[in-house]
Chains A and B, each alone.
Chain A
Amino acid sequence: MDLVLQLLFTGIGIGAVYALVALGFVLIFRATNVVNFAQGEFSMVAAYLMVVFAVDHGWPYWLSFLIALGGMALLGVIFNLGVYYPLRHRTFLPVIIATIGASILLSNSVLAIYGPQPQVLQGWFETPGIQLGPVYLDSQYLLIIAVTIALVIFNYWFFEKTLLGKKLQATSQDKEMASLLGISVSTMIMITFIYSAVLGGLAGILVAPVLFVSIQMGSTIALKAFAATIIGGFGDVAGAIIGGLALGVIETFGAAYISVPYKDGFAFLVLVAFLIFRPQGIFGERVAEKA
């Protein structure tokens, strides 16, 4: 029982990271109808930025953190202008392929600069964790869960209560109508890319002390996050979060009770099971096209 509680805590912690990246997926998907296959690389790049500033240069953690997030915002801008925007009038297939190209470009550029050796990044806190009854609460996992909760609340407030959030929603639902109402669609899409790059970056920085900082971390996280969005129901914000948490828990238990080397395979099995038995996910996606 103690082990179960411990695994549950770890699972939710890792699931929260998937949820954050999944949120970035969903936001871009809703704004542009495109799945950004480089979303995971945002996390990887941000983690490496942290390594550069906090570890290599030895700058304060908070300062490195702000610089890394600033760098992610910039990356979001470059990504939009270089990859998505020129293809915005094409069908989804070329755009998907271009984002895959971008993902390959990002991860291998970092590989070429930094080499294949995984890097280590310390957590925020000096204290490694606290013992709460039978369960040991790792401080970094606690932080991840807290930040995810805060971001979910922020996200709700931002999209439902602010004018900018409503403009973003309007753009994602009907671009033509939004532009007729005087909303600058290209600005809104730019903001979406910046926001989801920062979100992905944040997830990467949070998870870096738990995993190693490596070239593969981006694609690993992205695959899980994508599976999470399908499990939750594609394009649904709440679904992405629930799906992410569920996947983290399933994976942690799978690794503990079934097999460690195949840990990364469980997400795939769950994904295929959902695709076969409930393709619309827990919360449902409208897949139909209008004739």
Chain B
Amino acid sequence: MSAPSDNMPIPAPAVRSRPLLLRHLPYFIGAAILVALAAGLRFDGYILNILLQATTFSIAVFGLSVVLGLCGQINLAQAAFFGLGAYAVGLGTNDLHLSFWLCLVGGCVVALLAGALLGMSTLRLGGHYLAMVTISFQQIVTLVMINAIWLTHGPDGVSNIRRPELFQTSQSYLAFCVAMLAIVGYLVWHLSDTKLGRAMRAVRDNELAAGVNGIDVFRTKIYAFALCALLGGLAGGLFAGGFAYVSPDQFSFAESIVFLTMSLLGGVASPIGSAIGTGLLILIPEWLRFLKSVPGLYLAIYGLFVILIIRFMPDGIWGFVADAFSRWRAHIKAPPVAAALQLKPATVGGEFVLEVTGLSKHFGGLKAVDGVDIAVRRGGVHALIGPNGSGKTTTLNVLSGLYEATSGKIVLDGTDITRMPPHQRTAAGLGRTFQNIRLFRSMTALENVEIGAERPGNTMIGKGEDALTERAMEALNFVGLGHRANELISSFSYGHQRLIEIARALAANPTLLLLDEPAAGLNSTEKLELHELLKRIAAQGLTILIIDHDMTLVSEAAQHITVLNFGRRIADGESMAVLRHPDVVSAYLGSE
């Protein structure tokens, strides 16, 4: 995509990655102590069962913290995935006399595949589809468990489930489950700071912006969903080994709701919250046993809990604690220093970075864009102007892939991108900002820009987290907000949010930057700053296609202007000439 000479990765300082393991050492020491306690302390059978249940359920609820907490997708069938894992171990060790380990892995694979397939059929659509489809799936699994007696033993369930040779005693098996919990918890905890985790959070916060920042939204959701199902399957397999008996009612829709409530109560965004919620909701019903004597009563209370938590404590118990903690930490954590931002737009094509020919977008009978040609010269600032409703933003949305072109061709730096989804266009070198700012609102400024920097095909960053942070900091410094990198988006003014959005696009080192009305809503000082910024961007040789109403900005910044009216191109050429063109004047001011 770009010439080798552009490939200048900033070497990642190796010394800085070492403290990461050191910092996490307390976690592993704590986990080791817990495992030792689980193995060493003498519990009676009742306590042991409760601990075993809490441990295995927590792993299943971790799955929900991935899909619901990180990625913002709902899963009302976690008990079904849990059941798939449990039945794999149950039927495998009991009927087929297979090894426990083989069955555990097999159950995970079945759950993973089921989750991935379910996700592929639904995740392209809105969340309400997913909710209903997962409920339906849950019902189907329950139906099969009860009715396919030849396979599942029907309502009687499966008994005599075996454990691995190594962990025959309940005590040692508990220690094994605690160790699994610690490992899975560690992975889920750190998932949110990996590339995939950031992508999931971006999808949760704003799907459109995630797409134009190079994230494959559909695939990210499927990963989240499949991962959740996998953890459900793993937890179910461990559960079956622990209790030696499973039956269909343990994996019903009601149990999926119990998992959901556990997740919401503790705090859906973090594994710590999941563990807290699971622990509480296993202990509380044990204390309040009378609730279980009336069928339905304790689930009715869970339902009420769900409504109240959503209303009054949307981030759960842990969210509440963590929020206070992170506010405090954001102020003491100094942002890292970084060098000046370098923009090295890729160069392989010819004189023009963007060549649009005969582009049309029709909505039913309305021709919003009708046969438009645009050629954006490399290294220049090109403006697209026109009165309200002339088709400018539609053009931009077709260019970035949010709308599919009715006809015409879009070539970016020698690559035909006409039929690509948004994230592939971004990978091909397109960057954009939005008229109504679309940032990832639950993240810090730095995290937002990091997602931009992570664009597939960005040749300006090296390997590793440090290089990524460095690139993001450079971009934030470039727009003058480096000192506030660790603050949440909500604490920035409107004008600054716009700058962060531009920094996010710049960090990706795009070949072409699309700016959708960057001056809209800015006050006069902010407009001047924006103007300065555009000059500095252009000075680095980055090609810009800008839409704006501010004629001062457009005429001073752009060398070339294309004018649209009623979806058609009415003028095109060097700035001053175009602005004096009689058709343009009459389009803006009306003809005499």
Report Cα–Cα, A93/B314, bound state, in Å.
11
Report Cα–Cα, A291/B74, bound state, in Å.
24
Looking across the interface, which residue of chain B has its beta carbon closest to that of A92? Answer: B127
Whether A97 and B121, one on each chain, are in contact in the complex, defined by CB atoms closer than 8 angstroms, is: no
Report Cα–Cα, A108/B303, bound state, in Å.
8
A102 in contact with B127 given A108-B300, A112-B294 (CB within 8 Å): no
Q: List which A94-132 residues lie within 8 A (CB) of chain B.
A: 94, 96-98, 100-112, 115-116
Does A70 belong to the interface (CB within 8 Å)?
no
Q: Which of B129-137, B328-336, B380-388 contacts A (4 or more CB under 8 A)?
A: B129-137
Given B125, B136, B297, B311, which contacts A87 in the complex, CB threshold below 8 Å?
B311
Whether A93 and B74, one on each chain, are in contact in the complex, defined by CB atoms closer than 8 angstroms, is: yes
Does A206 belong to the interface (CB within 8 Å)?
no
Does A153 belong to the interface (CB within 8 Å)?
no
Greatest chain B CB density within 10 A among A97, A107, A230, A276 is at A97
Report Cα–Cα, A226/B265, bound state, in Å.
28
Whether A279 and B310, one on each chain, are in contact in the complex, defined by CB atoms closer than 8 angstroms, is: no
**Nearest CB of B to A271, in Å:** 6
Q: List the A side residues contacting B128 at CB < 8 Å.
A: 29, 35, 92, 96
Whether B143 and A275, one on each chain, are in contact in the complex, defined by CB atoms closer than 8 angstroms, is: no
Given B122, B143, B306, B435, which contacts A98 in the complex, CB threshold below 8 Å?
B306
Whether B136 and A267, one on each chain, are in contact in the complex, defined by CB atoms closer than 8 angstroms, is: yes
Whether A287 and B126, one on each chain, are in contact in the complex, defined by CB atoms closer than 8 angstroms, is: yes
Q: List the A side residues contacting B400 at CB < 8 Å.
A: 291
Whether A215 and B393, one on each chain, are in contact in the complex, defined by CB atoms closer than 8 angstroms, is: no
Report Cα–Cα, A287/B404, bound state, in Å.
14
Q: Mark A258-291, 1 if CB is under 8 A from B, else 0.
A: 0001101101100110011001000000011101
Q: List the A side residues contacting B435 at CB < 8 Å.
A: 291
Report Cα–Cα, A35/B129, bound state, in Å.
9
Report Cα–Cα, A82/B294, bound state, in Å.
25
Whether B434 and A291, one on each chain, are in contact in the complex, defined by CB atoms closer than 8 angstroms, is: yes
A94 in contact with B299 given A101-B304, A226-B132, A275-B121 (CB within 8 Å): no
Does A134 belong to the interface (CB within 8 Å)?
no
Whether A98 and B311, one on each chain, are in contact in the complex, defined by CB atoms closer than 8 angstroms, is: yes
Looking across the interface, which residue of chain A has its beta carbon closest to that of B311? Answer: A86
Report Cα–Cα, A106/B253, bound state, in Å.
15
Q: List the A side residues contacting B121 at CB < 8 Å.
A: 272, 275-276
Whether A101 and B310, one on each chain, are in contact in the complex, defined by CB atoms closer than 8 angstroms, is: yes
**Nearest CB of A to B405, in Å:** 14
Q: List the A side residues contacting B131 at CB < 8 Å.
A: 35, 37, 96, 100
Q: List the A side residues contacting B133 at CB < 8 Å.
A: 268, 271-272, 275
Given A100, A107, A110, A116, which contacts B76 in the complex, CB threshold below 8 Å?
A100
Contacts between chains A and B (CB distance < 8 A), count: 138
Report Cα–Cα, A87/B312, bound state, in Å.
10
Report Cα–Cα, A97/B305, bound state, in Å.
11
Report Cα–Cα, A100/B128, bound state, in Å.
11
**Nearest CB of A to B514, in Å:** 11
Q: List which B285-343 residues lie within 8 A (CB) of chain A.
A: 294-297, 299-300, 302-307, 310-311, 314
**Nearest CB of A to B55, in Å:** 25
Q: List the B side residues contacting A287 at CB < 8 Å.
A: 125-126
Q: List which B200-224 residues lie within 8 A (CB) of chain A.
A: 207-208
Q: List the B side residues contacting A93 at CB < 8 Å.
A: 72, 74, 127
Does B159 belong to the interface (CB within 8 Å)?
no
Whether B147 and A268, one on each chain, are in contact in the complex, defined by CB atoms closer than 8 angstroms, is: no
Whether A110 and B257, one on each chain, are in contact in the complex, defined by CB atoms closer than 8 angstroms, is: no
A105 in contact with B127 given A35-B132, A97-B74, A289-B208 (CB within 8 Å): no
Does A148 belong to the interface (CB within 8 Å)?
no
Report Cα–Cα, A271/B121, bound state, in Å.
10
Report Cα–Cα, A264/B127, bound state, in Å.
23
A262 in contact with B147 given A82-B307, A105-B307, A108-B297 (CB within 8 Å): yes
Whether A227 and B147, one on each chain, are in contact in the complex, defined by CB atoms closer than 8 angstroms, is: no
Whether B139 and A97, one on each chain, are in contact in the complex, defined by CB atoms closer than 8 angstroms, is: no
Looking across the interface, which residue of chain A has its beta carbon closest to that of B397? Answer: A291
Q: List the A side residues contacting B314 at CB < 8 Å.
A: 90, 94
Whether B296 and A108, one on each chain, are in contact in the complex, defined by CB atoms closer than 8 angstroms, is: yes
Given A101, A272, A276, which contacts B307 in the complex, CB threshold below 8 Å?
A101
**Nearest CB of B to A112, in Å:** 4
Whether A261 and B129, one on each chain, are in contact in the complex, defined by CB atoms closer than 8 angstroms, is: no
Whether B302 and A104, one on each chain, are in contact in the complex, defined by CB atoms closer than 8 angstroms, is: yes
Whether A215 and B296, one on each chain, are in contact in the complex, defined by CB atoms closer than 8 angstroms, is: yes
Whether A96 and B125, one on each chain, are in contact in the complex, defined by CB atoms closer than 8 angstroms, is: no
**Nearest CB of A to B432, in Å:** 9
Whether A111 and B296, one on each chain, are in contact in the complex, defined by CB atoms closer than 8 angstroms, is: yes
Does A223 belong to the interface (CB within 8 Å)?
yes
Report Cα–Cα, A240/B28, bound state, in Å.
55
Q: List which B353-391 residues lie within 8 A (CB) of chain A.
A: none
Whether B135 and A223, one on each chain, are in contact in the complex, defined by CB atoms closer than 8 angstroms, is: yes
Q: List the A side residues contacting B297 at CB < 8 Å.
A: 108, 112
**Nearest CB of A to B319, in Å:** 13
Whether A100 and B306, one on each chain, are in contact in the complex, defined by CB atoms closer than 8 angstroms, is: yes
Does A142 belong to the interface (CB within 8 Å)?
no
Report Cα–Cα, A31/B251, bound state, in Å.
35
Report Cα–Cα, A93/B126, bound state, in Å.
10
Q: List the B side residues contacting A261 at CB < 8 Å.
A: 143, 147
A275 in contact with B122 given A101-B307, A289-B208 (CB within 8 Å): yes
Q: Mark A206-232, 1 if CB is under 8 A from B, else 0.
A: 000000000100010001001100100
Q: List the B side residues contacting A271 at CB < 8 Å.
A: 132-133, 136
Q: List the A side residues contacting B124 at CB < 8 Å.
A: 279
Does B402 belong to the interface (CB within 8 Å)?
yes
Greatest chain A CB density within 10 A among B122, B295, B310 is at B310
**Nearest CB of A to B259, in Å:** 12
Report Cα–Cα, A235/B28, bound state, in Å.
51
Whether A291 and B300, one on each chain, are in contact in the complex, defined by CB atoms closer than 8 angstroms, is: no
Q: List the A side residues contacting B147 at CB < 8 Å.
A: 261-262
Whether A268 and B296, one on each chain, are in contact in the complex, defined by CB atoms closer than 8 angstroms, is: no
What are 30 A-B pairs at a CB distance below 8 A?
A35-B131, A37-B131, A87-B310, A92-B126, A93-B127, A94-B314, A96-B127, A98-B306, A98-B311, A100-B76, A101-B310, A104-B299, A104-B303, A104-B306, A108-B297, A108-B300, A109-B300, A110-B296, A112-B294, A223-B132, A223-B135, A227-B132, A265-B140, A268-B136, A271-B136, A275-B133, A276-B121, A289-B207, A291-B396, A291-B402
Hey, which bits of chain B sit against chain A, CB under 8 A?
A: 72, 74, 76, 121-122, 124-129, 131-133, 135-137, 139-140, 143, 147, 207-208, 253-254, 257, 260, 264, 294-297, 299-300, 302-307, 310-311, 314, 393, 396-397, 400, 402-403, 434-435, 516
6 closest A-B pairs by CB: A101-B306, A111-B296, A105-B303, A104-B303, A108-B300, A35-B128
A sample of 11 more A-B contacts (CB under 8 A), given A227-B132, A272-B133, is A37-B132, A87-B310, A94-B310, A97-B260, A98-B311, A108-B303, A223-B136, A230-B132, A272-B121, A279-B125, A291-B396
Hey, which bits of chain A sit against chain B, CB under 8 A?
A: 29, 35, 37, 82-83, 86-87, 90, 92-94, 96-98, 100-112, 115-116, 215, 219, 223, 226-227, 230, 261-262, 264-265, 267-268, 271-272, 275-276, 279, 287-289, 291
